[in-house]
Amino acid sequence: MKENKFIKLNFSRCFAYIITLTLFVSCADFDRDFEEERYLTSSHAEANNAAGGTVGLQALDGAILSYLRDGEAVTDEFGIKAVDLGMDLRSNDMDMSRNTWFGAFNNYDNIILTSNDNDFMWEFFYKVINNANGIINTIPEGSPEETLIFKYKSHTYRAIAYFYLLRIYQHTKASDDTEAIPIDFGDFVGQPKSTVGEVKQLILDDLTIAYNGLENYARESKEEVDASVVAAYLARYHLTYENWTEAEKYADIAMSVGSIESDVMHGFDELALSEVIWGAEVTEATSEVYQSFFSHVSQINDGYSGWNHFKTVNSNLYDMIPDTDLRKGWFADQQYDPGVILVPGTWGHYNITPKYTSLKFIAQPGPGVFIGDYIYLRNTEFYLTKAEALARQNKDTEAQQVLFDLNSVRDENYTLSTKTGQDLIDEILMYRRIELWGDGVASFDMARLGVGLDRKDGRENLVMPGADLVIPALDEKMIYQIPIREVDASN
């Protein structure tokens, strides 16, 4: 198992050293190339810091970003995109063809406290929290602004991690006084559970601090966190907990980043795409090849998807997409024989491509190369968030216009909706399922909307044996058990 040396830093020593220097030296230039940061050691961090300014903090921040990208050295543990893929495979909208990597997400076998997948998610997010805490708790409030920026960024990372954990390990509709997960569980020492309300408040406090602190910060690349990223998570948070006016407010900020791409068949593998808000660059040096997102979802590569671990769309959802909508091209319209090249200049398949197979995510250039960038947030999600928030406030005319602003780019024949009330909300939710397919939001949307799992709905696409499940919305199978490592530590 690959050791992520950064995670094993002794923060009480390393951070004290870094902050002492950072507060009293001038800012120095820093090459914002995070490719090597996953190999950090404490001596490396100290050497970086000795260069002056905020270099040490930049290195530590870059290491957190690298860990979010890379995760652990296991085929299905490649950071936050692995969690997103696993969560989507728990939804009504994504299926897979056979029981292999990620199969335990699809058939709900990994919810038990002894599951490796379960343990990974717990460990992954609490490592992020642990390292974010190391920065937050060491930088004094009166520090120079260039130093405080890293504190605000770490508030963002911590909030993101707790937001995932809360929704994975407790029902989204659980009351605020329900027991949830431990707060400040950073060193894998057992802590009592906090309530849903306490964790929600921490998330909101962190995001609010981060947004206010980063509001005037100009980042150098989309790999960095800035106020637009925080606004996106504030929009997600408020949509989840039905704070419609706040969801509208922050969605408006997030959707204003860049513009909507008119070309939808680009593969969603480049940070340079105008609709990307936040993501991670993947290069030949940082690609983890077969243990990567595109290995599992890109049908044009010789990875797990191309080897017949197909990821398919629910055929019922596919049938809802208008024929004139470009997004229908995200899925195979028929079964293609072995050797058929779906994207010119790329790998010649040695396997079939079944109808309904995902073609949305395609990492160029082809066989054995998995250098597609990871996209965490796109502005189109927040058009749909704003539209839903408006519709929930009975602002139907405004909601119709926001929905039109998105869909008219995807479908030249789309006309302004005349639906109102629940019918309009249902239309918006349908387009959320289409637009955000594979982006990691489907099962979380099901949880907030009180929708159960139904894979016996007459779908025609491939469904993994044993995954044709029907599970009610608030069934205990819809959330994960606290892993055995935490149970043992708490006892």
**Structural domains in the chain?**
53-280+375-490 (1.25.40.390), 293-372 (no CATH)
Confidence at residue 309, expressed as pLDDT on a 0 to 100 scale: 84
pLDDT at 53: 60
Q: Integer distance in angstroms from the first to the last C-alpha of the chain? A: 28
Using the predicted structure, report yes or no on whether residue 1 has a pLDDT greater than 70. no
What's the average model confidence in pLDDT over 150-177?
A: 97
- Quick one: pLDDT at residue 44? 46
pLDDT per position as a tens digit, 256-270: 999 999 999 988 999
pLDDT at 477 over 80: yes
- DSSP character for 271? T
Residue scoring higher pLDDT (198 or 286):
198
pLDDT digits (tens, 9 = 90+) for 288-307: 666 778 888 888 777 777 77
Buried b (16+ CB within 10 A) or exposed e, 275-302: bbbbbbbbeeebbbebbbbbbbbbbbbb
pLDDT at 190: 56
Looking at residue 448, what is its pLDDT? 98
**What number is the average pLDDT over the span 372-388?**
96
pLDDT band of 151, cuts 50, 70, 90: very high
- Residue of 180, 136, 153 whose CA lies nearest to 61: 153
**Rounded Cα distance, 257 and 330, in Å:** 23
Report the SS3 class of residue 432.
helix
Distance CA 449, CA 309 (A): 30
For residues 296 and 76, give the distance between their C-alpha atoms in angstroms, rounded to a whole number.
9
> How far, in Å, CA of 372 to CA of 362, rounded?
8
Amino acid at 155: H
435, 406 Cβ separation under 8 angstroms? yes
Q: 369: Cβ–Cβ under 8 A, 6 or more apart, which residues?
A: 284, 287, 301, 363
In this prediction, residue 390 carries a pLDDT of 98
- Given this model, what pLDDT does residue 118 score? 94
- Percentage of the chain with pLDDT > 70? 84
Helix, strand, or coil here: 342? Answer: coil
Q: Which of 338, 377, 346, 349 is nearest to 362 (CA)?
A: 346
| pLDDT score for 334 | 96
In the 8-state DSSP scheme, what is residue 220? Answer: S
Looking at per-residue pLDDT, the higher value among 33 and 487 belongs to 487
DSSP state of 390: H
Distance CA 461, CA 121 (A): 29
* Kind and range of the H or E run holding 76: none
Q: Which of 1-10, 263-272, 309-318, 379-388 has the lowest mean pLDDT?
A: 1-10
Confidence at residue 403, expressed as pLDDT on a 0 to 100 scale: 98
Sign of CA dihedral 350, 354, 358, 359: positive
pLDDT for residue 366:
58
pLDDT digits (tens, 9 = 90+) for 109-144: 999 999 999 999 999 999 999 999 999 988 988 889
Average pLDDT, the chain: 86
Residue 94, beta-bridge partner list: 313
Q: What is the band of 8 on the pLDDT scale with cuts at 50, 70, 90?
A: very low
Would you say residue 349 has pLDDT above 90?
no
How far is it, in rounded angstroms, from Cα 192 to Cα 384?
37
Give the per-residue SS3 of 81-126: HHHHHHHHCCCCCEEECCCCCCHHHHCCHHHCCCCHHHHHHHHHHH
Length of the chain: 491
Q: Which pTM was predicted?
A: 0.89
* pLDDT band at 358; cut points 50, 70, 90: very high
Q: DSSP string of 43-74?
A: HHHHHHHTTSTTHHHHHHHHHHHHHHHH-SSS
In sequence order, which residues have a C-beta less than 8 Å from that of residue 130 and are 6 or more positions away? 7, 11, 186, 187
Taking Cα atoms as reference points, which of 107, 86, 146 lies closest to residue 464?
107
Q: In Å, what is the CA distance from 8 to each residue of 42, 133, 200, 318?
A: 9, 14, 28, 45
Confidence tier at 371 by pLDDT (50, 70, 90): confident
159: which residues sit within 8 A by CB, 6+ positions away? 202, 203, 206, 207, 210, 233
